[in-house]
């Protein structure tokens, strides 16, 4: 690659302009040397014509371009090297560069000149040694052994500029990385978690601010109300009293309603408990009655199996008492130890006929008063139409002997049994009042 090619070689990397101190390069002045051949004086005219032709060729070969600094430069090919090849030179067209001084000798050709750079090179760029002086010859040829240095100098400048651009890019990358690191640190500082105490303090601050805001609004409303009512002092006091009075009345009314509601609930609960207690008592009585009925039925069945006969119902109705009826009654009383003191025949509240016998039994000095009520249940409840008896003790409430109450066992409570079991009832009643049944059970236990 020749110097001409390097001279026209443009940079591929964009140029980064920097403000640097201009450095003036020394201009090269052309010095005339001795001619190689003696020619007559008439050759001056020929030399002048040749120079004019070369200048015209240089003018035609000039072209403009833009250098790395953004300046418009005129590239001239007027200079010719030693071997006859033209060397391109750069001429700025904006008129900002300094014109090189050209020393012209009489009858001698113009020596190649080195123009200074339009813009100073940065101090970071390697310094290029100044070009060597060239000696012009009378025949228009450059002295032997001297070559133009424009292409090499431009190449060195481009290499230095590229190195500078790379350094600037590396510096920019480092500064960008530092900026990113600082941004990350700042972001982490902003996103640090607060402690529990700080959170509580922030919550309390929020609550107090909200409360203060509400208080301020309430105060503003009171001020507006006081200003609209008339004088400031009297209206303020009246408004405050009115507001507080309404609040007190409302709170009092709510409290009274709440108390009344709870009282109603307590009454309902007490009533429900009372109803349940009554149901429990009824169930206990029914259980006792069923227990006594079961015992009587068991005893009656045992008696029927032992005797093998059934008890016939006797007629209690007669037109008039037969002669000696009193003796018969006394005989029954002596046989059963039961005296019938009173008799009533009155319908029950449900319309069912009821025969009530008031009786008293006395055995070995022990007596017990009781009532026997005879009735016939409806056919729906009593398919066999069998009369039933209700036993109710009447004198146990006045009895003070607890042992006597205990030996009566189930006879100390009311119960219901079938009328067919009257004989079993009479025998059991005699045994319980006499205490013989209790003694027999004790003997059986001892055996």
- pLDDT tens digits for range 323-364: 566 677 777 777 888 888 888 887 766 667 788 888 988 888
- Supply the pLDDT for residue 129: 52
Say yes or no to pLDDT of 136 above 90. no
Mean pLDDT for 157-183 is 94
Does residue 282 or residue 76 have the better pLDDT? Answer: 282
Which value, to the nearest 10 degrees, does the dihedral of the CA atoms of residues 350, 353, 358, 359 take? -120
- Supply the pLDDT for residue 312: 42
Say yes or no to pLDDT of 308 above 60. no
pLDDT band at 310 (very low <50, low <70, confident <90, very high): very low
Instruction: Sketch the domain layout of the chain as residue ranges.
Output: 3-166, 194-222, 325-446
CATH for 325-446, among 1.10.150.120, 3.30.450.20, 3.90.1150.80, 3.90.1170.50?
3.90.1150.80
Mean pLDDT for 409-438 is 84
pLDDT exceeding 70 applies to what percent of the chain?
52
Most confident of 44-53, 55-64, 244-253: 244-253
Most confident of 69-83, 111-125, 237-251: 237-251
- Supply the pLDDT for residue 121: 41
pLDDT band at 130 (very low <50, low <70, confident <90, very high): low
pLDDT exceeding 90 applies to what percent of the chain?
8
Per-residue 3-state assignment (H helix, E strand, C coil) for 282-310: HHHHHHHHHHHHHHHHHHHHHHHHHHCCC
Say yes or no to pLDDT of 65 above 80. no
Give the separation between CA 388 and CA 88, rounded to whole angstroms: 153
pLDDT tens-digit readout, 367-396? 888 998 888 887 777 777 788 889 998 888
Most confident of 68-72, 226-230, 262-266: 262-266
- Supply the pLDDT for residue 155: 92
- Supply the pLDDT for residue 231: 53
- Supply the pLDDT for residue 350: 65
Best CA proximity match to 427, nearest among 383, 367, 350, 363: 363
Classify 33 as helix, strand or coil.
coil
Mean pLDDT for 220-230 is 73
pTM value surpassing 0.75: no
Cβ atoms 377, 385 nearer than 8 A: no
Please, what is the average pLDDT of the chain?
A: 69
Q: Tokens 């510096």 map to which residue?
A: 171
Q: Please name the residues in contact with 393: beta carbons below 8 A apart, sequence gap of 6 or more.
A: 368, 369, 370, 408, 411, 412, 413, 414
Classify 419 as helix, strand or coil.
helix
Q: Tokens 């009520």 map to which residue?
A: 373
- Supply the pLDDT for residue 234: 54
pLDDT band at 78 (very low <50, low <70, confident <90, very high): very low
* Beta-sheet pairing, 338-347 with 135-136: unpaired
Alpha-helical runs (H) found in 94-230:
150-190, 196-229
């Amino acid at each position: 690659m020749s110097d001409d090619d390097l001279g026209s070689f443009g940079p591929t990397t964009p140029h980064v302009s920097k403000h640097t101190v201009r450095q003036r390069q020394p201009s090269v002045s052309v010095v005339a040397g001795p001619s190689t051949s003696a020619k007559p004086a008439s050759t001056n005219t020929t030399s002048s014509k040749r120079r004019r032709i070369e200048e015209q060729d240089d003018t035609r070969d000039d072209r403009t371009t833009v250098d790395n600094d953004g300046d418009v430069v005129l590239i001239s090919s007027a200079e010719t090297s030693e071997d006859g090849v033209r060397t391109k030179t750069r001429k700025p067209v904006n008129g900002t560069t300094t014109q090189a001084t050209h020393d012209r000798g009489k009858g001698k050709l113009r020596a190649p000149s080195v123009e200074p750079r339009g813009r100073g090179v940065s101090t970071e760029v390697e310094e290029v040694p100044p070009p060597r002086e060239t000696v012009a010859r009378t025949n228009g040829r450059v002295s032997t052994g001297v070559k133009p240095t424009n292409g090499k100098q431009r190449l060195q400048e481009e290499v230095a500029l590229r190195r500078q651009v790379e350094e600037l890019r590396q510096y920019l990358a480092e500064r960008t990385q530092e900026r990113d690191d600082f941004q990350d640190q700042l972001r982490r500082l902003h996103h640090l978690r607060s402690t529990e105490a700080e959170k509580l303090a922030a919550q309390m601050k929020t609550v107090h601010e909200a409360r203060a805001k509400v208080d301020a609004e309430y105060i503003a409303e009171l001020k507006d109300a006081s200003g609209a009512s008339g004088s400031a002092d009297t209206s303020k006091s009246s408004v405050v009293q009115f507001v507080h009075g309404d609040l007190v009345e409302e709170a009092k009314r709510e409290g009274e309603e709440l108390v009344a509601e709870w009282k109603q609930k307590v009454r309902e609960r007490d009533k429900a408990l009372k109803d349940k207690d009554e149901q429990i008592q009824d169930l206990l009585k029914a259980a006792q009655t069923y227990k006594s009925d079961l015992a009587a039925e068991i005893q009656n069945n045992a008696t029927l199996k032992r005797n093998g006969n059934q008890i016939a119902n006797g007629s209690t109705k007669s037109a008039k008492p037969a002669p000696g009826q009193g003796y018969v009654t006394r005989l029954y009383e002596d046989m059963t130890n039961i005296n019938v003191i009173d008799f009533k025949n009155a319908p029950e509240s449900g319309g069912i006929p009821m025969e009530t016998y008031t009786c008293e039994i006395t055995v070995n000095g022990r007596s017990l008063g009781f009532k026997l009520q005879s009735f016939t249940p409806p056919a729906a409840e009593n398919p066999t139409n069998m009369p039933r008896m209700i036993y109710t003790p009447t004198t146990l409430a006045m009895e003070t002997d607890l042992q006597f109450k205990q030996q009566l066992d189930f006879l100390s409570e009311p119960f219901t049994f079938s009328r067919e079991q009257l004989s079993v009832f009479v025998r059991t009643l005699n045994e319980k009042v006499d205490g013989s049944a209790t003694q027999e059970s004790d003997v059986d236990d001892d055996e």
